Amino acid sequence: MNKKVVLITGASSGIGRAAAKKFIEQGYIVYGAARTELDLKYLTDYQNGHYILMDITDAEMRKNCIDQIIKNEEKIDILVNNAGYGAYGAVEEVPLEKAKAQFEVNIFGLSELTKLVIPHMRNENQGRIINISSIAGKIWTPLGGWYHASKFALEGLSDCLRNELREFGIDVVLIEPGAIETNWAETAGENLIENSGSGIYQKQAQRKAAKYEKMYGEGGMAAQPESVAEAIVKAAQSSRPKARYAVPAHAKLILFFRWLLSDRLYDFFTNKFF
């Protein structure tokens, strides 16, 4: 009866899957949510693992997800908002419907699900909301406008939410990963080439796609998703969690240099890198 209940979105792979396993190892009751049942069935291998099919952009599925957990457990102690993806391409060339879809997943679906969980946490006078952002919410790169915009928005939304919910005993934490070995990079690269791989930005798109292949390929700088999962669990268990956790080490280094450099110098080095 005293076990804490965790809901993790985007739990079918990558960071979400690693976090789900880490929480189960720590004795939590874990509900993983995603759109594909086959990719969630691993949770049934564990006594405290459960899965719920949910498209985070679907209002009825969001409500059914929360209702089912409350019916089963009577509470939700920790919400890990992990679902998200990167829609890359030049701002000029990404269709508006694709830009809106990016925000529907990364911001609006996340915020609507969070709004369903808050009253249950407030009734318990405790809770923790952990939003998986990115260092992309603090830096920028060419051809990433809409993804960066969604993560900048998540940073601001989380900061406001943290202060709004403080008096109710609810903590809001941001996790800011750097390059992590997940299918995010593959999706981002595909979107990049689809949106800008043959137009006026073709050379930029090809250079950035090649850089991503190097970063996320064998021997690249990308870290394992377990490193992020460890930070998520740490944020969940801390009695006084920090507002932000940047992981792994290269993420902290990149954010330090962003703080150190002027906008002009940052632009110069970013364009040289990509």
Q: Which residue positions in the chain have pLDDT lower than 50? A: none
C-beta separation of 43 from 51 below 8 A: yes
Domain for residue 91, yes or no?
no
Residue 165: helix, strand or coil by DSSP? helix
Domain that holds residue 121: 5-86+96-182+225-248
pLDDT for the residue 1: 52
The total number of structural domains in the chain stands at 1
Supply the Cα-derived Rg of the chain in whole angstroms. 19
Q: Is residue 133 part of a domain?
A: yes
Q: Residue 50 belongs to a domain with what CATH number?
A: 3.40.50.720
Cα–Cα distances (Å) from 246 to 4, 150, 192, 204, in that order, read 25, 18, 25, 28
Q: Write out the catalytic residue numbers.
A: 147
Q: Is residue 267 part of a domain?
A: no
The pLDDT assigned to 80 comes to 98
Residue 152 lies in a domain: yes
Sheet holding 5-9, edge to edge: 49-53, 29-34, 5-9, 78-81, 127-132, 170-177, 244-247
Cα torsion 117, 120, 122, 123 to 10°: value is: 180
Considering the domain boundaries, does residue 212 fall inside one?
Answer: no
Residues 6+ apart with CB under 8 A from 122: 165, 168, 169, 170
For the full predicted model, state whether its pTM sits above 0.85. yes
The answer to whether the beta carbons of residues 124 and 69 sit under 8 Å apart is: no
Closest to 158 (Cα-Cα) out of 173, 146, 147: 173
φ/ψ of 92, rounded to 5, equals: -65, -30
Contact (CB, 8 A) for 81 and 9:
yes
- What pLDDT is attached to residue 117? 98
Euclidean distance between CA atoms 83 and 16, whole angstroms: 8
Question: Smallest Cα–Cα separation from 215: which of 259, 244, 254?
Answer: 254
Residue 19 · residue 229 · CB < 8 Å: yes
pLDDT in tens, 159-211: 999 999 999 999 999 999 999 988 777 777 888 888 888 889 999 988 888 88
In the chain, the DSSP E strands lie at 5-9, 29-34, 49-53, 78-81, 127-132, 170-177, 244-247
In a domain, 26, yes or no: yes
pLDDT of residue 193: 87
Dihedral class, residue 229 (left if φ above 0, else alpha if ψ from -120 to 50, else beta)? alpha
User: Which pLDDT score, from 0 to 100, does residue 87 have?
Assistant: 84
